[in-house]
Amino acid sequence: MKPTLFAVMLRPASKMSVEAANWHAIMLAFYQAYQLMNSAAHAGEYPHYSVSLQFVSFVDLRSFLAAACQYVDGLE
């Protein structure tokens, strides 16, 4: 799976197996989604970011989560 940019930036320094990297990216995507929901609920407490940056981040996260669902469904 292609990880989100957020997961790429927070990858560990040591090399991981493909399976470990996939699960690492999935857990970070859940964290990213949680943080985005939290920031939406408390929008006044965060600085303003451009709409295009937010849009690209959301599209990246959404496409990764769709791929992650297919990955997890394929494990059964």
65 has pLDDT over 80: yes
Number of structural domains found in the chain:
1
- Tens of pLDDT, residues 1-18: 899 999 999 999 999 999
- 17 conformational bin, left if phi > 0, alpha if psi -120 to 50, beta if neither: beta
Give the H or E element holding residue 34: helix 18-41
- Tens of pLDDT, residues 20-55: 999 999 999 999 999 988 888 888 888 888 989 989
Domain that holds residue 39: 5-73
Phi, psi of 71 (to 5 degrees): -65, -50
